[in-house]
């Protein structure tokens, strides 16, 4: 029995020396995959929420711009001074909104990856 004890112990040590790093590497890789998956899901959720927020902001700015543009067009040729003042104020608001919108689109264009949704204009024109 003593004759087999030393080789069996040596074999056991070798098996342990090989098995421990293999098991550690496999469990580490499994854990990394779980973490990577969780991070990717968080990134996708965050990206979606950011994209939705940017699109909603763009749509709101377009609505404001359109309302001011229509007000300007309605009152710009009026005979009443007060209505012409309304038109001038609406024109200023529309142009300010257009400037903000164009800058906002430019800063956030990376979100759409060169594919802006159809209902979002790539640029709003200034009123002359």
Angstrom distances, CA of residue 49 to CA of 25, 42, 82, 91, 98: 36, 11, 43, 33, 24
Does the pLDDT value for residue 117 go beyond 90?
no
Does the pLDDT value for residue 5 go beyond 70?
yes
**Each residue's pLDDT tens digit, 69-105:** 999 999 999 999 999 999 999 999 999 999 999 999 9
CB half-sphere exposure, 103, CA atoms < 13 A: 6
Q: What pLDDT does 46 receive?
A: 72
**More confident site: 71 or 12:** 71
Q: Is the dihedral of CA 21, 24, 27, 29 positive or negative?
A: negative
**Each residue's pLDDT tens digit, 21-53:** 766 766 666 666 666 666 776 676 677 888 889
Q: What pLDDT does 12 receive?
A: 73
DSSP type of residue 112: T
pTM: 0.65
């Amino acid at each position: 029995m003593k004759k087999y004890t030393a080789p069996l112990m040596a074999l056991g040590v070798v098996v342990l020396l090989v098995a421990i790093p293999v098991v550690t590497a496999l469990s580490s890789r499994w854990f990394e995959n779980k973490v990577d998956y969780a991070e990717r899901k968080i990134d996708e959720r965050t990206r979606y929420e950011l994209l939705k927020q940017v699109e909603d902001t763009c749509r709101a700015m377009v609505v404001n711009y359109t309302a001011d543009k229509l007000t300007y067009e309605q009152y710009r040729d009026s005979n009443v001074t007060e209505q012409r003042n309304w038109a001038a104020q609406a024109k200023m608001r529309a142009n300010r909104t257009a400037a903000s919108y164009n800058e906002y689109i430019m800063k956030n264009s990376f979100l759409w990856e060169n594919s802006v949704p159809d209902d979002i204009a790539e640029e709003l024109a200034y009123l002359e």
